[in-house]
Structure 1
């Protein structure tokens, strides 16, 4: 990270235009070369919240700095994929198109409707220095067709009651036995010292094994399990058929049997679990992220004035191992129907690259100095009008190209808040990727949710003691017969086709 990062101001923007675009005037100053005319860029982006007014000051600032004229179509999130499908089917698309990584999108890419940009990325100073995993996570058959709307990959963190750990002499767990003992102690040993049996080490909830932060996966990965899928010598194995994953599931079965976790977890909503944390009744949140620490601390002290949360990475016998997340909120692709030449393609990529310059990163992530944020403590920033930022700037931040921590000054925060931000950025190095994330499977497209639900239901029944080890194996066999075996074969074929080893 460069020190002394520039922050946005009118003067800086003006300097950026002059330096970045070149004012090729004659001596009289009355004529500019055609090369300096703004480059027209049309975009289709996702509307979340209010639609920004056309020609607003954020849009104007982007246009001035990048020497472009923007034409943005904002598509409501609820109708986004359907609208994109219509545009793709008609082959009537703008120069930049936000896409989600879904089967219809992948099919369009495979049909040759979008430019492959992977070989060109090395020519762009900002795009080329991002972690390759970001691009790998949106690749299609091993090739890159877009720029991610970057999101954190290594953010999987434990949010825990540091005051409980300190007063009880507990250490963060690294083995299954340690996990059991720590969760047991926080449930039985009255960590809040009120003489009542009203605490839990952790609570599960009805979607504990779904989404991007499944509890069992996170702990299992720390113990050496794969992230969703494992691959060795081209052969795929689902996580739930590995010993580390089974060991985690068996631990939760024991916790349930001994009433050391909430008995109603199968119907318990995560929002209710959060309420218990806010009330100071839960020791560890296992589906959280590093940046959760500050917000949970702010809420905890309202109920427990001496309560203290902290954050830590999932760690096992091999050290820190995190279940890596997709790392994007969709991606920006460039259609061949609207960008017809490689020269024009390079201009579009240059625009996207400039969006990660310090001036544009600051604009997207902080807004306008004096209106949305101010500088404090030297080179740190603090929001002065977060409501205005979220209304006026956040739509661009969410849809364009930026990464918190890259070419933008740090935000001043509480020590726990700054720790969470730092760990989120630094721990990408410990993130274990899901090797099947970008692989195609006809069976998954047709019956993936059905197969997932079969396993999720079986896991819950196993933890609740409704099936034994033989019953669990029978559920795995049923999963294989119902299409799981086909998924494995299709993933292996897709993996080989992408040239991976």
Structure 2
């Protein structure tokens, strides 16, 4: 039977009760109440084909750094959420757990007192003190920090463009949403590939696997238009961005791109796994996604034409909206967090012992192990960057490192080595990407309701959001008119959305 938000919430309540109860009965990992922990047990996901072998060289070196034995239960990423629910409901809870998101199970357990409240203590540890307070707030549960978030790039949004088409048509990289429309028109109508056939599209958009405010190209454009990012403040109240006039203006802009034929005709069905194909095959010329996609596409061209691959791809960051302002679309800035269950870590003394362990795990030397590997074994340092060693042994270690990176927090900043790119051109593009991301951070528009968990949203938010997601797609496709789109937004409100707005604002007031 599929799990609904209601059944998940019920299961989470049982798991929370079991975990809190286990805190009263489980034995201390070090054998005594308040004693320091000799062994740190961890549950974490792995993304590769195989997890690291127990006692591998990375583990040994981390144990030397931290002075602790490390026992990791590696779980396939595909089944990690199920394993997390089982672990939280059982009596074999680790010292540290990777939690991948604010699921109903995690929230119920956290609010039931299953995990240590870290809100006021992390600042005592330099490597656990965040450099992005907005991200730590977003990763909290209603303002309470229950975990050390795993930092990811905050600013990733990119506009990726066929450079050879720009050059052929004498165009510049777009800087504004108006520029984007002009380039999309030219890429569709002005024969950018020079074959004399009307067979190209400007913007390439896939069928998006997520709903409203899931970082689709349509969501990014809404932020550019000043609609906010998820939730935004209007007249002193937090509201969903799709209730704003700027959001409707953005959707009209998106619809104009489609109506003019400047978007791939199969935008509603193109598999996101095949998103690169039209760009690489010369069928479309613009992608709005993340900077790393540009690197992936460059590699495709490099494999096809290693002598000239630098001529095909260019990229920039966020675009200036029609109000003349930059509203940059960020990620949440984190990918889950590390939590410390009270059932294994009984006292504040033990908590500080574990936090010191995690602080060391976030130090520069540990970050290098977790992100780069072992110098001289799978990488060398060239010009201050990590250059991969290309041997089977090195590649095996690198695969292991990709799993150990799941334990990296990097909240105080990434201080391991950046990668050494294969060519001077690729290195320049990588460095420019980082510079663009840093510049866009000044204009980042964060989701102002990200810290808050509405009970009504947990129960029915996903179904409600589908009302707006479906209506937007129908409006873009010309299947409904503007009035019907607005009716759908009103239906969201009357079906429970107004209650969600009330709960979010109550939480905001309580945490102000």
The answer on whether the counterparts of 1:293 and 1:416 sit within 8 Å (CA) in structure 2 is: no
The answer on whether the counterparts of 1:138 and 1:148 sit within 8 Å (CA) in structure 2 is: yes
- Deviation of 1:394 (Å): 1.0
Partner of 1:18: none
Whether 1:360 and 2:385 are equivalent positions in the alignment is: no
Q: How does 1:410-429 map to 2 (within 5 A)?
A: 410-413=418-421, 414=426, 415-424=428-437, 427-429=440-442
Equivalenced residue count is 461
The answer on whether the counterparts of 2:99 and 2:338 sit within 8 Å (CA) in structure 1 is: yes
Q: How does 1:300-311 map to 2 (within 5 A)?
A: 300-301=301-302, 305=308, 307-311=311-315
**Could you list the per-position Cα deviations for residues 53-109 of structure 1 after superposition, in whole angstroms to 9, with x for gaps in the alignment?**
211111000000111111222233233223322332345422111113212101111
Partner of 1:450: 463
- Deviation of 1:111 (Å): 0.9
Whether 1:201 and 2:214 are equivalent positions in the alignment is: no
Secondary structure (helix, strand or coil) at the match of 2:126 reads coil
The answer on whether the counterparts of 1:154 and 1:429 sit within 8 Å (CA) in structure 2 is: no
Partner of 1:409: 417
Whether 1:321 and 2:327 are equivalent positions in the alignment is: yes
Partner of 1:381: 386
Q: How does 1:204-223 map to 2 (within 5 A)?
A: 204-207=205-208, 210=211, 212-223=214-225
Partner of 1:343: 349
Separation in 2 of the partners of 1:470 and 1:188?
A: 31
Higher mean C-alpha deviation, range 188-197 or range 80-89: 80-89
Counterpart of 1:333 (choices 324, 339, 342) is 339
Separation in 1 of the partners of 2:256 and 2:236?
A: 35
Separation in 2 of the partners of 1:81 and 1:208?
A: 19
Separation in 2 of the partners of 1:169 and 1:209?
A: 36
Partner of 2:267: 265
Could you say if the C-alpha distance between residues 303 and 44 of structure 1 is closer, same or farther in structure 2, counting changes exceeding 3 Å? closer
Counterpart of 1:244 (choices 243, 246, 258) is 246
- Deviation of 1:480 (Å): 1.7
Query: Structure 2 stretches of 5 or more lacking a match?
Result: 1-35
- Deviation of 1:188 (Å): 0.5
The answer on whether the counterparts of 1:116 and 1:143 sit within 8 Å (CA) in structure 2 is: yes
- Deviation of 1:353 (Å): 1.1
Higher mean C-alpha deviation, range 276-285 or range 71-80: 71-80
The answer on whether the counterparts of 2:132 and 2:411 sit within 8 Å (CA) in structure 1 is: no
Partner of 2:152: 151
Partner of 2:487: 474
- Deviation of 1:226 (Å): 0.5
The answer on whether the counterparts of 1:374 and 1:382 sit within 8 Å (CA) in structure 2 is: yes
The answer on whether the counterparts of 1:38 and 1:67 sit within 8 Å (CA) in structure 2 is: no
Could you say if the C-alpha distance between residues 315 and 262 of structure 1 is closer, same or farther in structure 2, counting changes exceeding 3 Å? closer
Partner of 2:40: 41
- Deviation of 1:187 (Å): 0.8
Separation in 2 of the partners of 1:166 and 1:118?
A: 52
Separation in 1 of the partners of 2:168 and 2:377?
A: 45
Higher mean C-alpha deviation, range 266-275 or range 367-376: 266-275
The answer on whether the counterparts of 2:130 and 2:412 sit within 8 Å (CA) in structure 1 is: no
Separation in 2 of the partners of 1:480 and 1:103?
A: 22
- Deviation of 1:238 (Å): 1.7
Secondary structure (helix, strand or coil) at the match of 1:164 reads helix
The answer on whether the counterparts of 1:291 and 1:417 sit within 8 Å (CA) in structure 2 is: no
- Deviation of 1:194 (Å): 1.8
- Deviation of 1:392 (Å): 1.5
Partner of 1:400: 408
Secondary structure (helix, strand or coil) at the match of 2:331 reads coil
Whether 1:486 and 2:499 are equivalent positions in the alignment is: yes
Secondary structure (helix, strand or coil) at the match of 1:393 reads helix
The answer on whether the counterparts of 1:95 and 1:335 sit within 8 Å (CA) in structure 2 is: yes
**Could you list the per-position Cα deviations for residues 163-188 of structure 1 after superposition, in whole angstroms to 9, with x for gaps in the alignment?**
33344343444554433222111111
Secondary structure (helix, strand or coil) at the match of 1:43 reads strand
Partner of 1:86: 86
Separation in 1 of the partners of 2:412 and 2:143?
A: 27
Separation in 1 of the partners of 2:174 and 2:475?
A: 23
- Deviation of 1:302 (Å): 5.3
- Deviation of 1:47 (Å): 3.0
Counterpart of 1:230 (choices 228, 232, 235) is 232
The answer on whether the counterparts of 2:43 and 2:96 sit within 8 Å (CA) in structure 1 is: yes
Separation in 2 of the partners of 1:243 and 1:253?
A: 15
- Give the TM-score normalised by the residue count of structure 2: 0.84
- Deviation of 1:397 (Å): 0.5
- Deviation of 1:202 (Å): 0.7
Separation in 2 of the partners of 1:215 and 1:84?
A: 32
The answer on whether the counterparts of 2:45 and 2:75 sit within 8 Å (CA) in structure 1 is: yes
Separation in 2 of the partners of 1:295 and 1:265?
A: 21
